[in-house]
Structure 1
């Protein structure tokens, strides 16, 4: 295949994509394949000679779609969404064609400067104060790792990067048990260690207890440990738990600790002013992450980290050998110095296309619909025999249990996903197996969402 062939195959792929999205409701949401079934359809050895694109594309059509869990299915209510609006898909095609390596300003000036503007557009959209800047990462995991590494170096007066950690004091991080596992991973990768990630007691509303946070910090200082930072969550992955941001940030400030807020999912909802009380006090955070690829229709991957002062993170992650210097320019922004990878994709392009194609008004309407429809579905689910709502809606996320039994709840979940009309996943809450419902797919309708209680009604009636 060469560039002369590309227009034909690009059009063919676009036609396939349009039909794929048009017909998604006709297919089961979760992949209905056995482990190893897809691999068995592929040759054991790579081809020695070129193969025609017709054969390659034909194999794609035959093998791939039936073995997919369809993340863009309007009845995907599992995990959190990884949305792909048409405008974002178009921008990805253009970014793929350009194939820029945006590690430095000089290697992709448009990518760097559009990213700067998109960060500020989003800052305004979410109602954050002037002064926040930021960057785009691949995922919230990387953004959180960047913040935790900054906590580490700041607490060690930037000795860790140069001297290593073996002779340094024992650092401590603080988070609740409701924070995402990426916080645990960051503690491990940063060399701080899982045992030094203190899971602070939560209140009855599942938010971190600020008094317990203060007590844990004081106790660690008395024991000779060095507190390094606090990680808070807004809309935790499991049940949507949200910390008391203002109160916890006040505790952190009292002790001079760096703070990071994980709002990977719920942050998108803050384009709606009525939801901003969820993160009241957020302007006091040092670092915030949210994922436009979850709920704003922006193609995965696209995680935005807002930073109150980028200098500590740049001091932690920046490394500039001579071959990365930019000659003949005033000091530019080189976003590789803000992040873990050197290489960077042109992610800002899909933000630019999406925000312009739908506008904040269109995106707000979608999020408000999802929240309203989730509440309606929760009410209908709660009326079904044997179903108990275990955590009520936080924005568009709620959980439930069946017959107050782990075994019955797990068996019901398997029936739901084998049925194929909707896709749900599980978590553990208060030591019990529960089923999560999260509404947020870009193209879902009220009818799609109300399929949740319908499927539950059908399947629980059969079980009895």
Structure 2
């Protein structure tokens, strides 16, 4: 593709994206295709000769778009938002255009140093504790951030494990509300899913019980196990429950156990001063902390930021320097090589899109986006609470509201089935997309607000559709 061809088709692609964002509401939220439909529409074999780009754009509309579920749709409430904003898309394009592989400082100094700066900016915007600042790195996801934290914690607890393999029993500590990536991390690192200990939660708040955590760690140590890591969550995936980080941190300190704080969804809310209470307990306790700008902070997936209090624990656990990577800058000790802060060697120039987002919106614009999501969720919760046909869970400090119809007269099992059937009928309409979870054994619906295109009009229309569907049932 010549530069002139790139200009011509590139302009068409930009126009296509702009048109898509402008008209996204015209699409059904959830893809309407069945299993195999997209596959059947694609040629079984690759072309022998190049076909040009016009056909790609044509098939994008005819074949690909019917199979797209529209995460940027104002009626998308199924999962935590995956924001895509104009400045982030352009930053992603610049990253692709430069084609940087930023594994080492030497392979593109700007890639590394911009990342150092923007992770510092974000730490300042979130008002994170001093010990975390200056020690940030962009990962692809919170799952990878958890993996890095586990590996660093394992190195601190058992330095010989990296060389000789894990011997003996090592344990991780989560609650029933912790993200599944912790169990996957235990499997991948060799700790084993069977050594993931599940701590009790408060039945009302679903927050981890520090006393039970203390009991489990004490018993495991007495039995000869090596406790590796505790994961506390600020804003669980299921209901946005919040663990008592300070009390958990005190338990970790007494036992010398690494504390990882997973704030994948909710952490970015701390750009708003009135929401910085979510940082309570971090200072002096958190060994690592992660949040996802690619969820609620207007930055395209993938972009998770992980901060650590002790960078040496991470690099000691993950740094490997074969001869072909050796260079004068690395040997000087004056630079950061972020490949030593992650599981893979290679890394994209993700900092460009976060840099573009922060510069375009500024702190004020980012705060307004978060506040809008919180306000709309508050409005929705108020409407649900005022309707006697529904019950709303009281905990909704962010953009997620969990609720269920009361289904008077139905046994619990039948009521749960009716709720799931309601959700499927609503989702099939194409106007909105919800998911569910279970709280206290009962099915509840989840409505996560945060897409940039979602306004009060859309939330009101969604609620009316839900309430009318229940009234007709």
Bucket of the pairwise TM-score, normalised by the shorter protein: over 0.9
Aligned to 1:142: 144
Hey, what's the Cα distance between the residues in 2 that align with 1:392 and 1:260?
23
Listed one character per residue, the Cα deviations across residues 46-73 of structure 1 (whole Å, up to 9, x for unaligned) are 1111113222211111111121000111
**Contact 2:148-2:342 at 8 Å conserved across structures:** yes
Please state whether the residue corresponding to 2:251 is helix, strand or coil.
helix
Structure 1 segments of 4+ aligned residues over 4 angstroms from their partners: none
Hey, what's the Cα distance between the residues in 1 that align with 2:387 and 2:77?
19
Listed one character per residue, the Cα deviations across residues 66-102 of structure 1 (whole Å, up to 9, x for unaligned) are 2100011122111111111100001111111001000
Aligned to 1:376: 379
Please state whether the residue corresponding to 2:437 is helix, strand or coil.
strand
Aligned to 1:260: 260
Once the two structures are TM-superposed, the CA of residue 130 in structure 1 deviates from its matched residue by 2.3
Aligned to 1:303: 304
2:458 to 424, 445, 448: 448
Alignment of structure 1 residues 71-82 onto 2, 5 Å: 71-82=71-82
Aligned to 2:188: 189
Question: For the aligned residues, what is the CA RMSD?
Answer: 1.3
2:445 to 435, 447, 457: 435
Please state whether the residue corresponding to 1:289 is helix, strand or coil.
strand
Please state whether the residue corresponding to 1:116 is helix, strand or coil.
helix
Once the two structures are TM-superposed, the CA of residue 177 in structure 1 deviates from its matched residue by 1.0
More displaced, 247-256 or 395-404?
395-404
Listed one character per residue, the Cα deviations across residues 200-228 of structure 1 (whole Å, up to 9, x for unaligned) are 01123211111111111111111111111
Once the two structures are TM-superposed, the CA of residue 245 in structure 1 deviates from its matched residue by 0.5
1:395 aligns with 2:398: yes
Once the two structures are TM-superposed, the CA of residue 385 in structure 1 deviates from its matched residue by 5.1
Alignment of structure 1 residues 95-114 onto 2, 5 Å: 95-114=95-114
Hey, what's the Cα distance between the residues in 2 that align with 1:406 and 1:461?
16
Please state whether the residue corresponding to 1:388 is helix, strand or coil.
strand
- Stretches of structure 1 that go unaligned for 5 or more consecutive residues are none
1:348 aligns with 2:345: no
Aligned to 2:60: 60
1:28 aligns with 2:28: yes
Hey, what's the Cα distance between the residues in 2 that align with 1:52 and 1:431?
54
1:437–1:328 distance in 2 versus 1, CA, 3 Å: closer
Aligned to 1:49: 49
Hey, what's the Cα distance between the residues in 2 that align with 1:397 and 1:162?
44
Please state whether the residue corresponding to 2:106 is helix, strand or coil.
coil
More displaced, 142-151 or 426-435?
426-435
Hey, what's the Cα distance between the residues in 2 that align with 1:254 and 1:442?
44
Please state whether the residue corresponding to 1:59 is helix, strand or coil.
helix
Alignment of structure 1 residues 280-295 onto 2, 5 Å: 280-283=280-283, 284-295=285-296
Once the two structures are TM-superposed, the CA of residue 392 in structure 1 deviates from its matched residue by 3.3
More displaced, 332-341 or 447-456?
447-456
More displaced, 330-339 or 447-456?
447-456
Hey, what's the Cα distance between the residues in 2 that align with 1:325 and 1:159?
24
1:383–1:207 distance in 2 versus 1, CA, 3 Å: same
Hey, what's the Cα distance between the residues in 2 that align with 1:391 and 1:424?
19
TM-score (norm 2): 0.95
- Stretches of structure 2 that go unaligned for 5 or more consecutive residues are none
**Contact 2:105-2:329 at 8 Å conserved across structures:** no
Aligned to 1:172: 171
How many residue pairs are counted as aligned between the two chains?
Answer: 460
**Contact 2:78-2:446 at 8 Å conserved across structures:** yes
Once the two structures are TM-superposed, the CA of residue 328 in structure 1 deviates from its matched residue by 5.3
Hey, what's the Cα distance between the residues in 1 that align with 2:114 and 2:278?
29
TM-score (norm 1): 0.97
Aligned to 2:324: 323
Hey, what's the Cα distance between the residues in 2 that align with 1:406 and 1:27?
30
Aligned to 1:275: 275
1:40 aligns with 2:40: yes
**Contact 2:129-2:282 at 8 Å conserved across structures:** no
**Contact 1:381-1:456 at 8 Å conserved across structures:** no
Once the two structures are TM-superposed, the CA of residue 391 in structure 1 deviates from its matched residue by 5.0
Aligned to 1:131: 131
**Contact 2:106-2:329 at 8 Å conserved across structures:** no
Hey, what's the Cα distance between the residues in 2 that align with 1:365 and 1:224?
51
Aligned to 2:218: 218
**Contact 2:174-2:231 at 8 Å conserved across structures:** yes
Please state whether the residue corresponding to 1:73 is helix, strand or coil.
coil
